[in-house]
Amino acid sequence: MREEHGSFYEKFKLLLPEESQHDSNIETLVKSLSLTLSVTESDWQIGHSKVFLRRNLALKLERLAHLKVSSSARIIQHQFIRMRIRAAGSRITNWASGRLHANRRFKMRAASNLIASLWRMKVQYERLQVSERFVETSLNKTN
């Protein structure tokens, strides 16, 4: 299989170790992949503009790159799910806290309304007592 330097490098640079990804070239990539896959220089050669490699090595590299991308995607998905679960837990906690506060406020308002109602009833009852006494005294005076 033949592949140009640029496309080969872009396709397989993700297989490099993290520390050597920033300052590497095609030779560093080939050496690193040779060590990783335990292959010799007879399995591939670097030309002036292309990299030449055997078919089975190319398939191994493709599979390895696919596995690297798939595992990275799984890690990202797992972290995203954990983030969503954490956010949902926070949302549920905030909702429950709000409900508790609203229930307390409702009970306080109901108690306040009951007290106000009883107070109005007491005032009305006292007014009724005063008016009944007034009627009694005015009836007694007329008799």
Mean pLDDT of 22-34: 80
12 CB burial (10 A radius; 0-12, 13-18, 19+) = buried
Q: Give the model confidence (pLDDT) of 29-68 as tens digits.
A: 888 888 888 888 778 888 888 888 888 888 889 999 999 9
pTM above 0.75, yes or no: no
Indicate whether 139 pLDDT > 90: no
Residue 109 lies in a domain: no
Residue 97 lies in a domain: no
Give the chain's domain count.
1
Query: Any idea what the CATH number is for the domain that residue 14 is in?
Result: 3.30.70.1590
Range of the domain at 23: 1-53
Residue 5 lies in a domain: yes
Q: What is the pLDDT of residue 28?
A: 83
Name the token pair of 30.
């080939």
Using the CB atoms, write b or e for 84-122: b if 16+ within 10 Å: eeeeeeeeeeeeeeeeeeeeeeeeeeeeeeeeeeeeeee
Q: Does an H or E element contain 3, and which?
A: strand 2-4
Q: Give the model confidence (pLDDT) of 69-83 as tens digits.
A: 999 999 999 999 999
81 CB burial (10 A radius; 0-12, 13-18, 19+) = exposed
Residue 67 lies in a domain: no
Indicate whether 104 pLDDT > 80: yes
Do residues 6 and 27 touch, judged by C-beta distance below 8 A?
no
